[in-house]
Amino acid sequence: MADVLGELLADLRVLVECESPSSDLAAVARSADVVARVGTARLGVTPERIVLDGRTHLRWRLGTGPSRVLLLGHHDTVWPLGSLAAHPFTVEDGVLRGPGCFDMKAGLVMAFHAAAGLDGVTLLVTGDEELGSPSSRELIEEEARSAVAALVLEASADGGALKTERKGVSLYEVRVTGRAAHAGLEPEKGVNATLELAHQVLAVSALADQEAGTTVTPTSARAGTTTNTVPAAGSFAVDVRARTAAEQERVHRAITALSPVLPGALIEVAGGVNRPPLEAVASAALHQRVRETAQRLGLPVPGSASVGGASDGNFTAGVGTPTLDGLGAVGGGAHAADEHVLVDELVGRTALLRALVEELVAHDRPLTRTS
């Protein structure tokens, strides 16, 4: 047990100490080299290196048979270069710290150790998840369509709970066109884009449904040019989170049908669905298997959590593949100064992951696709 933990910690240190901010293509490429080296040492197989729009992704095919299980993770982080100086890799009093350790380099290390020697597994490690996976989305969906199950190595929810629901995300920009005029001499000749913007912000905000868990949040906004000019243009961004595809579609129809309130104003809406929801139905059977497996191994039985944040698991669930998320490290502080991993949980979580993958590869209990 001590040897396994020592290997996990050693591998994790190597990954954490190679900084990989998503926005820096060279840093992501360097990180891919390091991840490939660590993964190859554990898996005995070199990955395929896939560069899309300058962003580096890695794919391992394990074994000689058809792939049944997709293990999914990412090696990019939100931490800028130089973060290690203020937040170095440390292990003290059972707590491991360092930029990206929890989200989600510990999950990658767990996947390498859990999948070693198995047949019928694909491990996909992307390099742009923190940006919304603009280049890797099609790759993720392609792999998911041929898999029996997708297991996402994102960090756990509080207390080690698995993420059995993730809200879908839609992003919009609402653009308003008015007409400029002098604010003091003849404001009545203008069409005030700021005023129209206010009407639209209120209309969009009213689309939220607290009971359904749907949030519709106007965020950044801008309008006008000078303090003495009736604004001729303005815009605001909208962040939508929904638990179901039906709710996501309801809000989409409403936002794209917005109409102006002021005579002479024009409305244009850009954007749409960014990630489909990971609904509970997509993860229910897998979560039950994890519970049974944990009981059989004498390990803590992980609970479940519904979260507002999205991951690449939204994409795998969106194409109908049974998906379970949050199988990575137990800890907290993702994207924050107190990001950390609980060391005592690493070995058990890795053993649980391996047992689950072994069962899924064994063909013994088929899963039903959700679409």
Active-site hit among 103, 129, 143, 345: 129
Q: Is 338 a catalytic residue?
A: no
* One-letter-per-residue 3-state SS of the chain: CHHHHHHHHHHHHHHHCCCCECCCHHHHHHHHHHHHHHHHHHHCCCCEEEEECCEEEEEEEECCCCCCEEEEEECCECCCCCHHHHCCCEEECCEEECCCHHHHHHHHHHHHHHHCCCCCEEEEEECCHHHCCCCCHHHHHHHHHCCCEEEECCCCCHHHCEEEEECEEEEEEEEEECECEECCCCHHHCECHHHHHHHHHHHHHCCCECCCCEEEEEEEEEECCCCCEECCEEEEEEEEEECCHHHHHHHHHHHHCCCCCCCCCEEEEEEEEEECCECHHHHHHHHHHHHHHHHHHCCCCCCEEEECCCCCHHHHHHCCCCEEECCCCCEECCCCCCCEEEHHHHHHHHHHHHHHHHHHHCCCCCCCCCC
- Domains of the chain: which residue ranges? 2-166+278-361, 168-275
Angle at 106 between CA 323 and CA 341, to 5 degrees: 110
**The predicted structure's pLDDT at residue 337:** 94
Check the CA dihedral 39-10-352-303 and report its sign. negative
In this prediction, the residues of the chain whose per-residue pLDDT falls under 50 are none
CATH class of domain segment(s) 168-275: alpha beta
Structure-token match 């995300």, residue found: 169
Q: Which two three-digit tokens encode residue 301?
A: 């039985």
Gyration radius (Cα) of the chain, Å: 23
Judge contact between 245 and 279, C-beta under 8 A: yes
Q: Is 33 a catalytic residue?
A: no
**The predicted structure's pLDDT at residue 357:** 97
Q: What is the pLDDT of residues 29-61, one digit of tens each?
A: 999 999 999 999 999 999 999 999 999 999 999
What residues form DSSP beta bridges with 96? Answer: 91, 341
Q: Which two three-digit tokens encode residue 217?
A: 């949040």
Q: Which CATH superfamily is domain 2-166+278-361 in?
A: Zn peptidases (3.40.630.10)
**The predicted structure's pLDDT at residue 214:** 97
**The predicted structure's pLDDT at residue 299:** 95
Q: Which two three-digit tokens encode residue 86?
A: 């203020």
**The predicted structure's pLDDT at residue 2:** 58
Peptide bond into 110 cis (omega under 30): no
Q: For residues 189, 193, 197 and 203, what is the CA-based torsion angle, rounded to 10 degrees?
A: 40
Question: Cα separation of 345 and 177, whole Å?
Answer: 55
Amino acid at 177: T
**The predicted structure's pLDDT at residue 367:** 79
Active-site hit among 11, 19, 76, 103: 76
Q: What is the pLDDT of residues 317-328, one digit of tens each?
A: 999 999 999 999
Alpha-carbon distances of 27 from 21, 24, 75, 77, 346, rounded to whole Å: 7, 5, 11, 10, 27
Amino acid at 178: G
